[in-house]
C-alpha cells in the first residue's frame, strides 16, 4: 500500500469512530414506533383535509423500513422509520399547479419548511425542524393526473429506547 | 406444426418407443459382453496358434468392438427419443394451458390460431376491457408453444437422420464416429463455464428447448444460477434451489459443530491459557448462524412477509453463493422486462449477511422511481449487487484497490448480461455505487466501459479517476451525491489520496444531486431528497431540466 494511502486511511478510520459522537443521536431515546407512525398518519390526514375538487384519495405506502449502522451501511442498527403515503388521483392536468400549491401551503402551515430541492423537477421536499419528520409532494408534472404525498419519521427505536445489548 | 396436431399428439407413443429402444440397447450391450466373455476370452485362453489363429482372434475381437460401438450408438437413439418426448410434452402442456385460459376468458381460438371474442360490452360473453391485450398475449403463448414443438420436432429429426445415416453406411461402427457422437451428446449436457461471454451464453440458452432449459435448471442450478447471459427468471429459479440446498447444508454443518470447547486450557503464571479451539469454534458458529439468518431474510423477501409488505413487488435471486463472506444478487422486479434498470454496488462490510439491507435500498429505489411519475405503466427494476468480495473493514481493507480490481470484470460482465437478456426496447440502465462500491463502479467504468446510460456515485471516497470524462461516459451522465452529514467520506475523499480526486470537487465535472442532510448510511431512506434524486436519474428524469 502506498504510504499516503495509509495516512488517509488512518484519518478515515479515526473519523469513522467519531461519527456517532458527532451526530450523537443513535442511542438517544426517541418516540416509539407507534407514536412515529401515528404522527405520519396525522400529518398526511391534515395535508389532504381541504383539497380542491375533483380528487380521489387512496392509501399508498403504509410500511416503514429499517435504519442502518453508522459504520456498516448495510447492517440494521435496530431503529426504524415510519411512513404514511396518500395517492391523489383524478386531478385535472391543467389544474395540477393549484393542487400542488394548496398542498405546499398546508404542509408548511404544519411546521414544515421547504428544502432547497429545486433541482428535483418532479417533487418538493419538506423538513420539520422541530421533530425531524419529513414530507414530500411527488409526481409534479405527472401525465397521469396523480400526485403522491408522504410523511416519514426520523429513525426511532421501536420501544423508544435502545434495547440493552 | 398446427394447433390440432400438437394438442392431439400421443406423446406416450414416443416415450414408449424410447423405452423399448432402451430395452433393445440394454440387450445388445449384454450380447456384446457375452460375446467377449463366452467367445473372445475363451479363444484367447485356448492353445490355438499360427496364422489362422491370429486372423480368427483379430476378427473376433473386431466383432466384439463393433458390437460395443453399436450398443453405444444405439443408446444415442433412445436418449434422443426421450428428450424429444420431454420437449413435445412441455410444448403440448403450454398449448393446452393457453387454450384452457382462452376458453375460461371467453375467447374462441380457431384451428388456424385466430382468436375472436364477443365485442359487445354488455354481453355476458364479453371478455372485458382489456380483451385485445389479453387476446394478443394468448396468441403469443399459442405461437410460442407451436414454435417450441416445431423446434423439438426439427431437432429430433436431425438427430435421428444423423444416427440413421451412421447405421445405414456402417460409420456408426467406427470408433471415431461414435466418439464424436458421444462428445456431441456430452456437449448437450454441458453448461458454459463461469465467465463465458453473456452473448454466447444467451445463444446457447436459446438453442435449447424449454424442456431442456428446465432440465439444466433442475440438474445444474449451481452453474445456471450465477451464469451471466441466462434470463432472470431461470436464474431466479435455479438460485431458489441453491438457496434451499445451502440452507440444509449450513444447518447440517452447524449441527455437526459439536459442543462448545472449553474457553481456557488451564492456568499459567496466574493467567488463564486461551483455548484456540474455542475461538475457532465460535468463529465458525457465528459464520454459519449469520448465513442462515441471511438466508431466512432473503427467503422472506422472495416469498414471505417481506414481499407482502412491499405490495407484492416481486424479487428475483440472480446470484447466490455462501462461500467465504457469501454473495447475493437480488433484483426487485424483473430486469429483463423493466423499462429502467439500476444496479447498486454496496461498499465496505457488505456480504451475504447484509444483502437484505441492500435489497431494502433497491426497494426504496423502485418506489422512488415510481413516484417520479405516479400512475405511469413504465416499470423499474433495482438490483442489489452483492456480487463481489467487499472489504470488511475501513482500515486496511477499504483503503486498497484490490477489492475493486477483483470485482470490476464481474460487474462489467453483469452489466453486459443485463443488455443481452433484456426483452423488447432497451432499458434505461443506471450503475450506482455507494462508498467503496463507488470505487468498484469507477474502476469498472474506467477499465471496461460497460453499456450503461447513467452513473451515480453516492458517498464516494473517490473512483480511480480525476475527471468524470475518464469514466468513458458523457460526463453529464455522471452524478454524485453526498449528504451534509456524511462527514467521514467528505474528509477521506478531500485528501485525494485514496482513489483520486474527490468526485464532489467541481473540477471532477460530475452533476451534483440533491442529497439533503443524510449521513453515510441513510441515502436510501424514504423521505430523503437523495432517494428522490436517485429515482429521477433512474427513470431518465434527471437530465432534462
Residue B88 is placed in which grid cell? 413435445
Residues of B with CB below 8 A from A4's CB?
A: 495, 497
pLDDT by residue (tens digit) across B437-466?
999 999 999 999 999 999 999 999 999 999
CB contact (8 A) between residue B498 and residue A83: no
pLDDT at residue B508 greater than cutoff 60: yes
Say what the pLDDT of residue B515 is: 92
pLDDT at residue B483 greater than cutoff 70: yes
Find, in chain A, the residue whose alpha carbon is nearest to that of B309: A63
CB contact (8 A) between residue B399 and residue A76: no
CB contact (8 A) between residue B491 and residue A12: yes
Say what the pLDDT of residue B174 is: 87
Candidate from A6, A66, A122 with C-beta closest to B373: A122
pLDDT by residue (tens digit) across B40-59?
888 888 888 888 888 888 88
Mean pLDDT score of chain B, rounded to an integer? Answer: 91
Candidate from A63, A68, A135 with C-beta closest to B522: A68
pTM for the full model? 0.80
Nearest alpha-carbon partner for B435 in B340, B509, B366, B518: B518
CB contact (8 A) between residue B374 and residue A115: no
DSSP B459: S
Q: Are strands B511-512 and B478-481 parallel, antiparallel or unpaired?
A: parallel
pLDDT by residue (tens digit) across B111-126?
999 999 998 988 989 9
Instruction: Please say whether the beta carbons of B533 and B542 come within 8 A.
Output: yes
Candidate from B398, B522, B529 with C-beta closest to A120: B529
Q: Report the gap between the CA of B29 and the closest CA in chain A (Å).
A: 60
CB contact (8 A) between residue B374 and residue A148: yes
Find, in chain B, the residue whose alpha carbon is nearest to that of A147: B374
Count A/B contacts: CB-CB distance under 8 Å.
187
pLDDT at residue A53 greater than cutoff 50: yes
CB contact (8 A) between residue B526 and residue A76: no
Candidate from B347, B497, B528 with C-beta closest to A7: B497
Residues of A with CB below 8 A from B349's CB?
A: 71-75
Say what the pLDDT of residue B144 is: 84
Report the phi/psi class of residue A111: left, alpha or beta, with left for phi > 0 and alpha for psi in -120 to 50: left
Count of positions (residues) in chain B:
545
CB contact (8 A) between residue A73 and residue B346: yes
Assign B545 a pLDDT band (cuts: 50, 70, 90): very low
Q: Report the gap between the CA of A91 and the closest CA in chain B (Å).
A: 12
Candidate from B376, B395, B521 with C-beta closest to A10: B395
pLDDT at residue B167 greater than cutoff 50: yes
Residue B523 is placed in which grid cell? 441515502
DSSP A163: P
Q: Report the gap between the CA of B514 and the closest CA in chain A (Å).
A: 6
Our CA angle for B352, B358, B362, nearest 5°, is 135
CB contact (8 A) between residue B521 and residue A70: yes
CB contact (8 A) between residue B371 and residue A10: no
Could you tell me if B310 lies within 8 Å of chain A, comparing CB atoms? yes
CB contact (8 A) between residue A22 and residue B373: no
Write the ipTM: 0.87
Say how far apart CA B3 and CA A68 lie, in whole Å: 56
pLDDT by residue (tens digit) across B200-219?
999 999 988 888 898 899 88
Residues of A with CB below 8 A from B394's CB?
A: 9, 12-13, 16, 71
Find, in chain B, the residue whose alpha carbon is nearest to that of A7: B497
Say what the pLDDT of residue A19 is: 35
Could you tell me if B309 lies within 8 Å of chain A, comparing CB atoms? yes
Assign A4 a pLDDT band (cuts: 50, 70, 90): low
Residues of A with CB below 8 A from B525's CB?
A: 65, 67, 81, 152, 155
* C-alpha dihedral sign at B181, B185, B186, B190: positive
Assign A10 a pLDDT band (cuts: 50, 70, 90): very low
Residues of B with CB below 8 A from A3's CB?
A: none
Candidate from B374, B529, B536 with C-beta closest to A147: B374
Residues of B with CB below 8 A from A24's CB?
A: none
Instruction: Provide φ and ψ at B227, rounded to 5°.
Output: -90, 115
Which string of DSSP letters, residue by residue, matches B496-523?
A: --SBSS-TTSGGG-PEEPP-TT--TT-T
Give the H or E element holding residue A79: strand A76-81
Could you tell me if B519 lies within 8 Å of chain A, comparing CB atoms? yes
Find, in chain A, the residue whose alpha carbon is nearest to that of B398: A9
Instruction: Please say whether the beta carbons of B328 and B251 come within 8 A.
Output: no
Instruction: Please say whether the beta carbons of B307 and B317 come within 8 A.
Output: no
Say how far apart CA B180 and CA A1 lie, in whole Å: 53
B396 prior amide bond cis, ω within 30:
yes
Residues in B 418-437 with any Cβ partner in A closer than 8 A: 434-435
Candidate from B355, B459, B514 with C-beta closest to A119: B514
Give start and end residues of each alpha helix (H) in B3-50.
3-8, 11-34, 41-45
Nearest alpha-carbon partner for A26 in A66, A98, A74, A79: A79
- Cα B510 to chain centroid, rounded: 33
Say how far apart CA B531 and CA B367 lie, in whole Å: 9
pLDDT at residue B334 greater than cutoff 60: yes
Residues of A with CB below 8 A from B347's CB?
A: 73
pLDDT at residue A12 greater than cutoff 80: no
Instruction: Please say whether the beta carbons of B481 and B527 come within 8 A.
Output: no
Query: Which residues, at least 6 apart from B122, have a Cβ–Cβ distance to it below 8 Å?
Result: none
CB contact (8 A) between residue A75 and residue B349: yes
Nearest alpha-carbon partner for B526 in A48, A82, A112, A119: A82
Look at the block and give the residue holding cell 423399448: B20
Nearest alpha-carbon partner for A54 in A118, A16, A98: A98
Look at the block and give the residue holding cell 401551503: A105
pLDDT at residue A40 greater than cutoff 50: yes
Q: Counting Cβ atoms within 10 Å, is residue B193 exposed (0-12), middle (13-18) or buried (19+)?
A: exposed
* C-alpha dihedral sign at B512, B517, B518, B524: negative
Residues of B with CB below 8 A from A61's CB?
A: 311, 367, 526
pLDDT by residue (tens digit) across B338-393?
999 999 999 999 999 999 999 999 999 999 999 998 989 999 999 999 999 999 98
B519 prior amide bond cis, ω within 30:
no
Amino acid at each position: 500500500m502506498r504510504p499516503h494511502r495509509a495516512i488517509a486511511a488512518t484519518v478515515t478510520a479515526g473519523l469513522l469512530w467519531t461519527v456517532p459522537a458527532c451526530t450523537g443521536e443513535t442511542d438517544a431515546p426517541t418516540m416509539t414506533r407507534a407514536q412515529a407512525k401515528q404522527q405520519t398518519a396525522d400529518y398526511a390526514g391534515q395535508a389532504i383535509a381541504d383539497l380542491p375538487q375533483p380528487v380521489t384519495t387512496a392509501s399508498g405506502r403504509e410500511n416503514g423500513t429499517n435504519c442502518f449502522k453508522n459504520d456498516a451501511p448495510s447492517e440494521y442498527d435496530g431503529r426504524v422509520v415510519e411512513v404514511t403515503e396518500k395517492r391523489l388521483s383524478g386531478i385535472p392536468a391543467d389544474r395540477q399547479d393549484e393542487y400542488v400549491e394548496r398542498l405546499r401551503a398546508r404542509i408548511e402551515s404544519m411546521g414544515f419548511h421547504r428544502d432547497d430541492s429545486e433541482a428535483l423537477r418532479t417533487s418538493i421536499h419538506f423538513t420539520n425542524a422541530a421533530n425531524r419528520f419529513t414530507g414530500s409532494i411527488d409526481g409534479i408534472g405527472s401525465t397521469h393526473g396523480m400526485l403522491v404525498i408522504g410523511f416519514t419519521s426520523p429513525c426511532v427505536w421501536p420501544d423508544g429506547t435502545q434495547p440493552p445489548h | 406444426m398446427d394447433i390440432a396436431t400438437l394438442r392431439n399428439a400421443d406423446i406416450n407413443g414416443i416415450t414408449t418407443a424410447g423405452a423399448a429402444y432402451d430395452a433393445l440397447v440394454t440387450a445388445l450391450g449384454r450380447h456384446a459382453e457375452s460375446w467377449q466373455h463366452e467367445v473372445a476370452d475363451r479363444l484367447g485362453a485356448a492353445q490355438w496358434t499360427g496364422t489362422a489363429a491370429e486372423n480368427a482372434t483379430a476378427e473376433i475381437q473386431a466383432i466384439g468392438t463393433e458390437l460395443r460401438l453399436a450398443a453405444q450408438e444405439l443408446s444415442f437413439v433412445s436418449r434422443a427419443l426421450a428428450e424429444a418426448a420431454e420437449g413435445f410434452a412441455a410444448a403440448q402442456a403450454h398449448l393446452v394451458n393457453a387454450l384452457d385460459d382462452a376458453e375460461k376468458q371467453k375467447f374462441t381460438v380457431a384451428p388456424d390460431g385466430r382468436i375472436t371474442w364477443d365485442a359487445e360490452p354488455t354481453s355476458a360473453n364479453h371478455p372485458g376491457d382489456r380483451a385485445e391485450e389479453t387476446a394478443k398475449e394468448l396468441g403469443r403463448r399459442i405461437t410460442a408453444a407451436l414454435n417450441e414443438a416445431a423446434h423439438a420436432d426439427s431437432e429430433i429429426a436431425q438427430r435421428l437422420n444423423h444416427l440413421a445415416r451412421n447405421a445405414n453406411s456402417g460409420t456408426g461402427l467406427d470408433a471415431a464416429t461414435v466418439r464424436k457422437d458421444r462428445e456431441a451428446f456430452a456437449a448437450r449436457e454441458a453448461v458454459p463455464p463461469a465467465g463465458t461471454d453473456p452473448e454466447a451464453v444467451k445463444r446457447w440458452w436459446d438453442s435449447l428447448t424449454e424442456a431442456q432449459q428446465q432440465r439444466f435448471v433442475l440438474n445444474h442450478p449451481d452453474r445456471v444460477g450465477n451464469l451471466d447471459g441466462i434470463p432472470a427468471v431461470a436464474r431466479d429459479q435455479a438460485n431458489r434451489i441453491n438457496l434451499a440446498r445451502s440452507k440444509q447444508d449450513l444447518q447440517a454443518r452447524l449441527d455437526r459443530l459439536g459442543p462448545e470447547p472449553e474457553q481456557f486450557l488451564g492456568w499459567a503464571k496466574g493467567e488463564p491459557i486461551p483455548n484456540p479451539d474455542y475461538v475457532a469454534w465460535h468463529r465458525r458458529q457465528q459464520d454459519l448462524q449469520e448465513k442462515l439468518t441471511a438466508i431466512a431474510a432473503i427467503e422472506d423477501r422472495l416469498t414471505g412477509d417481506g414481499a407482502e409488505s412491499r405490495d407484492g413487488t416481486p424479487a428475483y435471486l440472480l446470484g447466490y453463493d455462501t462461500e467465504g463472506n457469501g454473495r447475493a444478487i437480488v433484483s426487485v422486479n424483473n430486469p429483463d422486462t423493466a423499462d429502467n434498470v439500476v444496479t447498486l454496488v454496496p461498499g465496505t462490510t457488505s456480504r451475504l449477511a447484509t444483502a437484505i439491507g441492500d435489497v431494502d435500498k433497491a426497494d426504496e429505489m423502485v418506489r422512488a422511481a415510481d413516484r417520479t411519475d405516479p400512475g405511469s405503466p413504465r416499470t423499474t427494476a433495482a438490483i442489489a449487487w452483492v456480487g463481489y468480495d467487499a472489504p470488511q473493514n475501513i482500515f486496511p481493507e477499504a483503503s486498497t484497490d484490490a477489492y475493486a480490481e477483483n470485482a470490476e470484470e464481474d460487474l462489467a460482465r453483469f452489466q453486459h448480461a443485463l443488455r443481452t437478456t433484456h426483452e423488447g426496447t432497451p432499458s434505461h440502465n443506471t450503475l450506482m455505487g455507494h462508498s467503496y462500491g463507488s470505487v468498484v463502479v469507477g474502476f469498472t467504468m474506467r477499465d471496461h466501459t460497460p453499456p450503461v446510460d447513467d452513473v451515480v456515485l453516492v458517498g464516494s471516497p473517490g473512483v480511480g479517476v480525476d475527471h468524470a470524462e475518464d469514466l468513458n461516459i458523457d460526463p453529464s451522465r455522471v452524478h454524485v451525491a453526498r449528504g451534509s452529514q456524511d462527514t467521514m467520506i467528505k474528509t477521506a475523499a478531500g485528501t485525494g489520496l485514496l482513489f483520486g480526486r474527490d468526485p464532489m470537487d467541481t473540477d471532477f465535472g460530475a452533476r451534483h444531486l440533491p442529497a439533503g442532510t443524510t449521513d453515510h448510511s441513510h441515502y436510501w431512506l424514504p423521505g430523503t431528497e437523495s432517494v428522490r434524486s436517485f429515482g429521477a436519474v433512474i427513470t431518465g428524469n434527471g437530465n432534462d431540466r
